[in-house]
Structure 1
């Protein structure tokens, strides 16, 4: 009975907690990377100044990271520890890819994407950048499966 309880309840519970922790850590890292790539303080832009451009960009980053985490969990094999470690590694790779894609898009387009975030008017370039984040998260997630 205790063996069944451990296998059926405690094992999945430990996995859910561990994967949740990794997901939270990766989303915090995604926030920090986005904050680093953009001028000003992202939290202040979104929560104090209510800047829609910054909110759209951060939302796309969270969704992209979420897709990567889901894909890494889906593809993980070999127990919780191995799965959690591989999820973290793939998540960091995904964050790096999103940051590089942001910088490349910034080089290929007029103006500075980071500066556009601080504008009060809703900017179409932010939607393009957001789509790139979500799409790249999906690509990385599918590459894992």
Structure 2
């Protein structure tokens, strides 16, 4: 029974770190785009904003999951690498967004929350997912 309680506590620890990382990712996406991301997605039903945020969350989840698996059951190592690699992933995603913004005409953040579908959102989304995969591969 003690093993079960320990495993549940470890799971809650990893979940807390993962949720915190996803929250930080959502804040970073919100800062990179004009207006309130929450309002754009839930009130205006802006698909571009939703795709952008979802891709960030998938990337963060990929990094966190890989860090947990790579920890081989060592909780302290796992929680540290999940937080560390997650923060590095968010930093790299932010840098990639800035680089993509510099390489494209106009302000990328404005294009990505435009009410009409815009193909730039898919490019930015793939950059998020690719960064998540690169960081995940680096963990292994």
The alignment's TM-score, normalised by the length of structure 1, stands at: 0.92
Could you tell me how far 1:74 is from its partner in structure 2? Answer: 1.2
- Residue equivalent to 1:118: 113
Counterpart check, 1:95 vs 2:90 = yes
Q: How far apart, CA to CA, are the structure 2 residues paired with 1:119 and 1:75?
A: 39
Gaps of 5+ in 1: none
Gaps of 5+ in 2: none
Contact 2:112 2:120 in 1 (8 A): no
- Secondary structure in 2 matching 1:50: coil
- Please show how residues 56-95 of structure 1 align to structure 2 within 5 Å: 56-77=51-72, 79-95=74-90
- Residue equivalent to 2:139: 144
Counterpart check, 1:6 vs 2:2 = yes
Which structure 1 residue ranges, 4+ long, deviate > 6 Å from structure 2?
Answer: none
- Secondary structure in 1 matching 2:114: coil
- Residue equivalent to 1:18: 13
Could you tell me how far 1:11 is from its partner in structure 2? Answer: 2.4
Task: State how many pairs are aligned.
Answer: 140
**RMSD across aligned positions (CA):** 1.2
Tell me the alpha carbon deviations over residues 80-128 of structure 1, each in whole angstroms, 9 at most, x when there is no partner: 1231122111101100000100110110111211011231110000001
Tell me the alpha carbon deviations over residues 18-63 of structure 1, each in whole angstroms, 9 at most, x when there is no partner: 1001000000000001001111111011111111110010000000
The alignment's TM-score, normalised by the length of structure 2, stands at: 0.95
